Amino acid sequence: MSKYKKVYHDIKAKISNGTLVAKQELPSESELMQHYGFSKDTIRKALSLLEINGYIQKQQGRNSIVLERHLPKPQILSEIKTVSELNHSSSHQVKTTLSSLYIVQGEEELMHIFNVNEQIDFYRIGRTREIDGERVEYEVSYFDRRIVPFINRDIAEQSIYHYLESELGLKISHSQREIVFRYANEEEENTLDLGEYNMIVSVTSTTYLADGRPFQYGSISYRPDKITFASTATREIKHSSTN
Amino acid sequence: MSKYKKVYHDIKAKISNGTLVAKQELPSESELMQHYGFSKDTIRKALSLLEINGYIQKQQGRNSIVLERHLPKPQILSEIKTVSELNHSSSHQVKTTLSSLYIVQGEEELMHIFNVNEQIDFYRIGRTREIDGERVEYEVSYFDRRIVPFINRDIAEQSIYHYLESELGLKISHSQREIVFRYANEEEENTLDLGEYNMIVSVTSTTYLADGRPFQYGSISYRPDKITFASTATREIKHSSTN
DNA sequence: CGTCATTTGTCCGTATGTATA
DNA sequence: CTATACATACGGACAAATGAC
């Protein structure tokens, strides 16, 4: 791991475990340089990362300060996390069930998003997520078969992302998402335990590889009481960097 | 303006006006260095900014590529925008009405968030937003009077943020937000034109000054069909840096 | 399959500007 | 006004990934 990431993880850990407390000042950049034995550039990259991810607040002319930690419960919108990754931190019983897996061709929406003709086919995967025995999430996902030529039941029931990254060696880069709140359609009413609710939260996403090609499109429908989003917003464009 | 911000805005403009098109490659860093006559560090900061804000995609070993532009409609979650700023880009008729303005003391939730006792008082401002004649947003906002000692009707009906930044000279830094989906309460049913809906989208936020002090807490309730959120997520922590 | 030129990523040292206290 | 601390900028060295051969 690079030096600036080591410093980032080190300070982040100190904030998480309470060694550094909210509103407290961090050591100055020059003190951190001495402490870690790294250059100014390296320390500054680590601090910028901490700021972007909402752990600290920098201000010219004074030491950085530690921010209050946002609640651990809600989904952080700036991270792509898979279900199994999310489950690590959860004390609830989560079960993923594959409800459908087949190949489709010529769907208008897909052809438009992937900018392809009706010759190209896609895996269509439907999955339901049960949390503590209630079906509260329903996911429909499409994968471009030119990039993901093979998926079976096993893979679809386990972690698809792990398969893509480890087995196929794909480099997943980023994802564009849109969140809407709308009435549930028939499919969602059938596959989810909506109870009294007649609306769902729908998160639609397109995911891209490091080389810029889109390879996945889909949406996840949530029962409204089972989802919360968190985000940190800044007043100006956030400085940034050297990568 | 600093050099790296100039480069950032220049390339951003070229992407926005179509001089640079999606999937196209940017010039290499060394070519950009020559073109602008700036150092590698400066060019790299600009490119990192463009990547963080979702305009380009970087990958080690090859030139950066231009990403598809996300739709301009939805709210971008990583920016703090005031109503009047949002209205610039909109072709709709927007009207903000002040529905209440008074001072409160000793509210449990506020005392907890601002970590103060019941001696401290807050402005409580209720505002309704009409879009094309329909009341679709209702905002309740609290301001710490030690930081914002005076607000009147005029200010509350115009832009509060402009007043805080220009008149009071406050430096607004960042904001933590949480989005939940729930049934409308009585106040929301009365102040909003909810029509057939009985649920709302609620965005709760705490806003901080550059020195880390929280000065504002509040929530905005939206009619479900009038709000969409957009965000870009990354698979790994986003590098960053040198500020 | 390795080789090699190109390109980006990391790290360092230094100088100067600007905000804070 | 001054000392301190962060912000911007430059130039150079080496590492790592990519693509073409």
3-class DSSP string for chain A? CCHHHHHHHHHHHHHHCCCCCCCCECCCHHHHHHHHCCCHHHHHHHHHHHHHCCCEEEECCEEEEECCCCCCCCEECCECCCHHHHHHCCCCCEEEEEEEEEEEECCHHHHHHHCCCCCCEEEEEEEEEEECCEEEEEEEEEEECCCCCCCCHHHHHCCHHHHHHHHCCCCEEEEEEEEEEEECCHHHHHHCCCCCCCEEEEEEEEEEECCCCEEEEEEEEECHHHCCEEEEEECCCCCCECC
Report the 10 Å Cβ neighbour count for B146. 13
* Residue A90 pLDDT level (bands cut at 50, 70, 90): low
User: Which tokens belong to A111?
Assistant: 């052809």
Q: Helix, strand, or coil here: B166?
A: helix
- Which residue bears the tokens 């952080």? A76
Q: Look up residue A233 and give its two tokens.
A: 């917003």
**Mean pLDDT, chain B, as a whole number?**
87
Q: Bigger pLDDT: A78 or A106?
A: A106
Same fold, A3-66 and A75-229: no
Residue-level pLDDT at B237: 64
The predicted pLDDT at position B243 comes to: 46
Please say whether the beta carbons of A221 and A129 come within 8 A.
no
* DSSP 3-state of B114: helix
Whether residue A135 contacts residue A129, with contact meaning beta carbons closer than 8 Å, is answered with yes
Residue among B202, B220, B219, B218 nearest B114 (CA):
B218
Provide the CA B51 to C1' C13 distance, Å, integer. Answer: 28
Q: Of B176, B92, B80, which is closest to residue B133 (Cα–Cα)?
A: B92
Chain B CB contacts of A79 under 8 Å are 233-234
Interchain pair B233, A201: CB under 8 A: no
Provide the pLDDT for residue B68: 79
**Taking CB atoms and an 8 Å cutoff, what residues of chain A touch B58?**
243
Closest nucleotide C1' to the C-alpha of B43: D9
User: Which residue type occupies A111?
Assistant: M
Span CA (B238) to C1' (D15), Å: 20
Q: How far apart are CA B236 and CA B243, in angstroms?
A: 20
Query: What is the rounded CA–CA span in Å between residue B199 and residue B222?
Result: 9
Q: Which of B71, B174, B240 sits opposite A243 (nearest CB)?
A: B240
Asked if residue A210 keeps its beta carbon closer than 7 A to nucleic acid strand D, the reply is yes
B178 interfacial to chain A (CB closer than 8 Å): yes
List alpha helices for B171-232, DSSP H: 186-191
CA of A135 to C1' of C8 (A): 45
Among A158, A156, A168, smallest CA distance to A209 is for: A168
pLDDT value of residue B242: 42
Q: B117, B115, B126, B138: which is closest to B193 by C-alpha?
A: B138
Residue B197 binned pLDDT confidence (cut-offs 50, 70, 90)? very high
* Nucleotide C7 C1' to residue B60 CA (A): 7
User: Is the pLDDT at A96 greater than 90, yes or no?
Assistant: no
Contact residues on chain B for A72, CB-CB shorter than 8 A = none
Mean pLDDT value across residues B48-52: 93
Higher-pLDDT residue of B10 and A162 is B10
Q: Could you give the percent of chain B with pLDDT greater than 70?
A: 88
Distance B81 CA to D3 C1' (A): 37
B184 touches strand C (CB under 7 A): no
A182 touches chain B (CB under 8 A): yes
Interface residues 62-121 of B with strand C (CB < 7 Å):
62-64
Q: CA of B28 and C1' of C6: distance in angstroms?
A: 10
Q: Which residues contact B35 (CB under 8 A, 6 or more apart)?
A: B27
- Nearest residue, CB atoms, B41 vs list A77, A229, A242: A242
B21 has pLDDT over 90: no
User: What is residue B165's DSSP assignment?
Assistant: I
Reading the block at residue A118, the tokens are: 């009706």
The class of domain A75-229 in CATH terms is alpha beta
pLDDT of residue B241: 46
CB nearest to B239's CB, from A208, A237, A241 = A241
Using the C1' atom of nucleotide C8, identify the protein residue whose alpha carbon is closest. Answer: B60
Centre a 10 Å sphere on the Cβ of residue A163 and count the other Cβ atoms it contains: 18
From 3.20.20.70, 3.40.50.2300, 1.10.10.10, 3.40.50.150, which CATH number describes the A3-66 domain?
1.10.10.10
| Residue A176 touches chain B, beta carbons under 8 Å | yes
- For residue A23, what are the CA distances in angstroms to A57, B5, B146? 9, 30, 18
| Strand C bases, protein C-beta under 7 A | 6-15, 17-21
Q: Given pLDDT bands bounded at 50, 70 and 90, which one contains residue A109?
A: confident
CB atoms within 10 A of CB B67: 21
In chain A, % of residues over pLDDT 70: 87
Is residue A65 less than 8 Å (CB to CB) from chain B? Answer: yes
For the cut 90, the answer to whether the pLDDT of residue B26 exceeds it is yes
Whether A240 has a pLDDT exceeding 60, the answer reads no
Q: Which of residues 46-75 of B touch strand D (CB under 7 A)?
A: 59-62
Q: Do B239 and A49 touch (CB under 8 A)?
A: yes
List of B residues 30-49 with CB within 7 A of strand D: 37-42, 45
Comparison of pLDDT for B133 and A78, the residue scoring more: B133
Q: Return the closest nucleotide (C1') to the Cα of B30.
A: C7
Beta A75-76 vs A229-234: how paired, if at all? parallel
**pLDDT over threshold 70, residue A7:** yes
Q: Would you call A111 an interface residue with chain B, using a CB distance cutoff of 8 Å?
A: no
Domain ranges of chain A: 3-66, 75-229
**Total-model pTM:** 0.86
| Number of Cβ atoms within 10 Å of the Cβ of B63 | 14
What is the end-to-end Cα distance of chain B in Å, rounded? 14
